[in-house]
A and B are shown apart, each in its own frame.
Chain A
């Protein structure tokens, strides 16, 4: 992350000062921010995306619905209610790997994946993954066979993308909860496999 040379304490004072000014002006009411911050964080977690994936791995009909209309399918599980955004789930296969980015800012399926990691918002990731995805994925330790196709989804409007990773071999005996525990945030972005 850049900008570490700036004085955290000074910025912190600036932010507090702005809050106070806005309260004095009646633009914000006291405590309003705490509520908003709590709402921002509550219920946003990669565990949500993992649950969606585990359901898709164990329920072929759900998987079909998820790939056809991601928004409607995840609402069945109680996610993305009231969101104006559209969810598109992109499926990894033996021959295709998907990875998500937002080169222009930092668009991200917050409700299903939780707050995004710093690297997702970094210039390094944003600039390079559309240009040299194989090299970037290798930096994450993900080596793909040379003949695996790569699709990079650069979110530039109101659709948010999530990757449906491949179910690993040897997991036939696991139940949905155990499967969900295998799914990482990076796998949902496409910078890792499960």
Chain B
């Protein structure tokens, strides 16, 4: 079945914002996420296709409301849980009101130990 990343020919995304941004990253954490991806992939923890699969598996409503590198972070967290490097919910402990995939739930609470991740 087609996934939310498969947008070729889909209507409704509006005009292209053609702003020619030359900065590769808009915040330092985006660079860190790219670094995490490259370092973990280089170690053989996952391959590029698994990583793409994890991004594509983000539920559509979520995918469309997260930024490009937020999706990367969600995917990395999901893969680390799938590979047993992180226990489910392990990342939540020290950081407060966030979901099991590493992102803030406005007004929500963390749900320590909840099953989850984008592919759950």
Chain A interface residues (CB < 8 Å from chain B): 1-8, 10-19, 21-22, 25, 27-28, 32-34, 36-37, 39-41, 103-106, 114-115, 117-119, 121-128, 130-131, 136, 139-141, 154, 185-186, 191
Contacts and interface: CB of A to CB of B under 8 A. Distances in A.
B13 A16 contact: no
Given A27-B85, A36-B39, A37-B35, A140 B70 contact: no
30 contacts: A2-B65, A2-B67, A6-B70, A8-B29, A13-B95, A14-B73, A14-B98, A17-B95, A18-B73, A22-B80, A22-B85, A27-B43, A28-B40, A33-B39, A34-B35, A36-B39, A36-B42, A37-B35, A37-B38, A40-B34, A103-B8, A105-B5, A118-B21, A119-B17, A119-B19, A123-B10, A127-B8, A128-B16, A140-B18, A191-B18
B7 A123 contact: yes
B16 A6 contact: no
A40 B35 contact: yes
A167 B23 CA distance: 27
Which A-B residue pairs are the 10 nearest by beta carbons? Answer: A115-B24, A103-B8, A3-B67, A33-B35, A12-B29, A124-B13, A127-B7, A37-B35, A123-B13, A127-B10
Contacts of B77: 18
Interface residues of B, number: 59
Given A106-B68, A126-B8, A131-B8, A117 B34 contact: no
B33 interface: yes
A148 B11 CA distance: 25
Chain B interface, DSSP helix/strand/loop, else mixed: loop
Contacts of A136: 16
Contact of A12 (B8, B28, B76): B28
B67 A4 contact: yes
Contacts of A154: 8
Contacts of B18: 119, 139-141, 191
B103 interface: yes
A170 to B, nearest CB: 24
B102 to A, nearest CB: 5
B66 A6 contact: yes
A105 B56 CA distance: 9
B17 A118 contact: yes
Given A16-B29, A34-B35, 16 more contacts: A1-B26, A2-B64, A10-B95, A14-B103, A18-B36, A18-B73, A18-B76, A33-B36, A37-B34, A37-B35, A105-B5, A115-B25, A118-B21, A119-B17, A122-B13, A122-B16
